[in-house]
Amino acid sequence: MDVGNRYSEEQLEVAVAEVHNWTELMRRLGLRPSGGQRRVLQEKVAQVGLDTSHFTKRSPWRKYPDAAIAAAAASSSSLREVAS
């Protein structure tokens, strides 16, 4: 079964197993990373039943080590200064 014009189900299965996120998967399959194409690809991956639990989740929050936060807090006089 062909799940896309540019790649087969087998190519999709191999690519999903080898990459770590949706953007990598799109590039591996020769797709332009865009929201619309990502949604279509996610639907196809779900339809085929491929496991993406190994994909890294992107956090909208930047992560800082506790020591860096403590240093910023110690040298700041307001929360705004800590955050900047």
Output the pTM of the full model: 0.62
Q: Report whether 28 contacts 41 (CB < 8 A).
A: no
C-alpha distance from residue 76 to each of 21, 70, 79, 84 (Å): 37, 10, 7, 10
b/e map of 23-46 (b: 16 or more CB within 10 Å)?
ebbbebbebeeeeeebeebeeebe
Tens of pLDDT, residue by residue over 19-76, are 999 999 999 999 988 878 899 999 999 999 999 999 987 666 667 778 888 888 888 8
Q: How confident is the model at residue 41, as a pLDDT?
A: 94
CA 77 to chain centroid: 36
**What Rg do the C-alpha atoms of the chain give, in angstroms?**
20
